[in-house]
Amino acid sequence: MKSFAEISESFLNDLLRFSPVRATGLGDHRYDHLLDEVDEKARNDKLHSARCHFADLEALDRDALSREEQVDYALLHQRLRKTAWEVATLCEWEWNPLVYTGIPGDSLYLLLSREFAPLEDRLRNVGSRCREFPRFFSQARESLVKEKVPLIHAETAVEQNRGITSLLDHLVVPHLVDLSEEDRVALEEALKTAREAIAEQQVWLEKELLPQAKGNPRLPENLYRAKFDFDLFSSLTPEELRERSEQEKTSLHEEMFRLSKKILAEQQSDFPLPENPTEQEKRDAIRTCLEFAYEESPEVDRVVEEAYHSLKITTDFIRENDLVTLPEDPLEIILMPEFRRGVSVAYCDAPGPLEQHGKTFYAVSPPPEDWTEEQVGSFLREYNLRSLHNLTVHEAMPGHYVQLLRSNETSTRLRSVLASGTFIEGWAVYTESMMMEAGFLPGDLLMRLIVLKWNLRGVANALLDQMIHLDGIDEATAMHLMVEEAFQEEREAAGKFRRSLLTSVQLSTYFAGYLEVVDLRKEVEEAWGDEFVLKRFHDELMSFGSPPPAFVRALLLSEPIP
């Protein structure tokens, strides 16, 4: 019988071998010259591998493992079940073209965005992967069932595929002058092959896929509930998350109104506020105060510069107040690459957990060039200067950048690869409120109001996710939730509606994870009593890597592993 260590290592080797691009992202560079296989044989191999590892795992005596191994056992057990379900039941490979648009772009971007090897070696691997583009796109076309593809997924694939060409032009071509003549000629030929394959794929996406894309972007209830359980790996059911979301929405509305009355007393004392206002009058007061914050918005070409300013003041505040141990690894703020746009406004791209001490990228997406002046204005109002501060707290300091790098340092290899999005997003959302509680930008009531609005955004995300996929609401109902009840700008709300259709369950991870982190902090405060210190809690919370919150709780409070 295999040991748990042997099963874990075998699983990791298969995972990295089956997806060379993911291996590069995780920091294993044995397969940097290869591009993923995405045909039926590859899917069958992946399914067979998952079933074999699962059988080996089931033969083990879990109780005989150490506490750390029991956590990793649970994560691997869940991942193997999820992999088999994804391949055989969810079947995104046949209806979601976005499964395929990200891989070619990532295959090149991951090789050139970090200096983990000499440039010449990385560019040779770029050439090798470019030569694989025709095969990859051919397999993608054969896998997709056109009539099952939702129109919104097809439209997004059309735009993302165009972005791959832009990546070639801006990330690869400038390095041609750095190569020997032999290597330059070889890479130019590979780039020509890639461009032709991208162009062929673009024609297929526009002329064949788009006209026949008739699928429903909303998951059926049975698939949604299964994915909810797999992705959140939480004790929360959809019904429990919705109930707590509704409760929190009501609570946040009241808190925002109380704060707005203070702001109005300072900035617009003649605001016509009745003694017993209706819910609509309360919302009008909140919206009026939010307008004061929107007056201070960044110039459209200065979003990155303003984000750097936010990074400085948040970092200084954390150090001055000793809130958490900060990493020293480099962090760079960039405009989001085109091939990654169309789903979220920002993301944190940390080094792979198998590759220590690389650069982290905090990427911000600018408004699309085809937006009207009014739409751009809506975007900049939503991402006003105070919102950029909060975005930076979430994505970087002390959110994802701090937590992900700490996870890379402290995790086992297996746990770092099987990281929980619920814990990762829960920590980032928690830090937003924690910074306000600790006194960030003291006396700035508008900053506090913006943070409450962001809290409300997380709540609305969870509600929207279920309302889209379980209730089947239309766009007008979704927009009412986000604009009227969550005070989002039209562009943000429209983007979130689009994101909820393109993805499922992921929008629920923010509030679900936040609830579990907040609930855990209350338990730890009670358990530690007078010995509770915020920095100690934060550092210990992050010392176990990024497993689902239930396992963090067990490890932190020395309780039995779930």
Q: What is the pLDDT of residues 120-153, one digit of tens each?
A: 999 999 999 999 999 999 999 999 999 999 999 9
- pLDDT confidence of residue 364: 81
Q: How much is the average pLDDT of 90-97?
A: 98
Q: Domain count of the chain?
A: 1
Rounded distance between C-alpha atoms, residue 160 and residue 364, angstroms: 16
The answer to whether residue 208 sits within a structural domain is no
User: What distance lies between CA 37 and its chain's CA centroid?
Assistant: 24
Report the CATH number that the domain containing residue 538 is assigned in CATH: 1.10.390
Ranking 9-13, 45-49, 348-352 by mean pLDDT, the lowest is 348-352
Q: Band the pLDDT of 343: cuts 50, 70, 90.
A: low
Rounded distance between C-alpha atoms, residue 525 and residue 534, angstroms: 9
The answer to whether residue 281 sits within a structural domain is no
Q: Residue 9: exposed, middle, or buried by beta-carbon count in 10 A (0-12, 13-18, 19+)?
A: middle
Domain that holds residue 302: 294-556
- pLDDT confidence of residue 193: 98
For residues 346 and 363, is the Cβ–Cβ distance under 8 A?
yes
The answer to whether residue 466 sits within a structural domain is yes
Q: Where are the beta strands (DSSP E) in 288-399?
A: 331-335, 346-349, 360-364
The answer to whether residue 196 sits within a structural domain is no
The answer to whether residue 128 sits within a structural domain is no
Beta-bridge partner residues of 327: none
The answer to whether residue 83 sits within a structural domain is no
Ranking 15-24, 190-199, 492-501 by mean pLDDT, the lowest is 492-501
- pLDDT confidence of residue 489: 86
- pLDDT tens digits, one per residue of 279-294: 999 999 999 999 999 9
The answer to whether residue 163 sits within a structural domain is no
Half-sphere exposure of 456 (CA within 13 A, CB side): 25
Ranking 23-27, 90-94, 252-256, 363-367 by mean pLDDT, the lowest is 363-367
Does residue 273 register a pLDDT over 90? no
The answer to whether residue 473 sits within a structural domain is yes
Does residue 97 register a pLDDT over 90? yes
Half-sphere exposure of 427 (CA within 13 A, CB side): 31
